[in-house]
Amino acid sequence: MAKQSQVTIPASGFEFLQKLRQHNNREWFNEHKTTYQQELQHIEQFAEALLAKMNTHDLIETSSGKKSLYRIYRDTRFSQDKTPYKTHWSGSFKRATQQRRGGYYFHIEQGNSFVAGGFFGPVPADLKLIRDDIAFDPAPLQKILKNKTFIAYFGSLQGEQVKTTPKGYPADHEAIELLRFKQYLLIRKFTDEEVMAPYFLEEANKTYIAMRPFFDYMTEVLTSNGNGE
């Protein structure tokens, strides 16, 4: 049981974020730096335990749970919102080598927690490879998206889409909705209670496992030339 508690995200993690949202300034943060470090340690332990599970079914380049975490300090240089701190915990894991495409992400925030993965900002060359493959034969991707396990975990493919038809593709293509995507994201949301539950670590890992058919498809598309070689 003690080991289980080490990888459980405590309610105090949400409580700290809630207070930070109310007092998002450097003076308050510095006064509560010790509390922040204590809560951060819980998130590091969670990320480390999650990484260990992920490495049993995938090869992850990210070297540690600590290395996976994003800084809580916001970059306010180009933002109208000048609050200095994020009010969520988050981290990402990179798959190893160019032969494994797709990235893993988790986001812990009061009322807005989720486990996600996919392709947040594919470069133009990759986006063209994906669209060309869909345009040629959408059936392989459609089969993945219609799979019962995929639907149970993610519902549907998420991400930003262009409002019109992508240049170079027919407006009446049977898979025009898939061709409009410029991000390809898989997202599974969790309630605060689910995040704090002892089974959340396992559910997060299962969510990543459920992404693999999609990642395997994308990897094949993105690591072959236009002739499928």
Strand partners, 188: 115
pLDDT in tens, 42-54: 999 999 999 999 9
Span 176-223, pLDDT tens digits: 999 999 999 999 999 999 999 999 999 999 999 999 999 999 999 999
Other C-beta atoms closer than 10 Å to the C-beta of 139 total: 11
227 pLDDT higher than 70: no
In the chain, % of residues over pLDDT 70: 95
pLDDT digits (tens, 9 = 90+) for 68-115: 999 999 988 888 889 999 999 999 999 988 889 999 999 999 999 999
DSSP bridge partners of 161: 181
What pLDDT is stored for residue 78 in this prediction? Answer: 84
Looking at residue 125, what is its pLDDT? Answer: 94
Average pLDDT on 126-151 reads 97
What are residue 110's DSSP bridge partners? none
Q: What is the model's pLDDT at position 224?
A: 76
What's the pTM value of the predicted model, to 2 decimals?
Answer: 0.91
Q: Are 145 and 166 in contact (CB under 8 A)?
A: no
Decide: 68 and 90 in contact? Cβ < 8 Å.
no
CA distance 24 to 1: 36
Question: How high is the pLDDT of residue 2?
Answer: 33
- Dihedral angle of Cα 119, 121, 124, 130, to the nearest 10 degrees: 20
User: Which of these, 225, 186, 228, 193, lies nearest to 209 by C-alpha position?
Assistant: 186
3 band by pLDDT with thresholds 50, 70 and 90: very low
- Helix %, strand %, coil % for the chain, to 5? 45, 15, 40
Extract the tokens encoding 196.
Answer: 């704090």
User: Looking at residue 38, what is its pLDDT?
Assistant: 97
The position carrying tokens 């689910």 is: 194
Question: What residues are paired with 190 via a beta bridge?
Answer: 113
Instruction: Give the angle subtended at the CA of 168 by the CAs of 167 and 169, to the nearest 5°.
Output: 95
Cα–Cα distance between 221 and 119 in angstroms, integer? 13
Contacts of 146 (CB under 8 A, 6+ apart): none
Query: Could you tell me the pLDDT band of residue 225, with boundaries at 50, 70 and 90?
Result: low
Q: CATH assignment of 2-222?
A: 3.30.930
Average pLDDT over residues 112-123: 96
Structure tokens at 123: 């470069």
**What is the pLDDT at residue 1?**
31
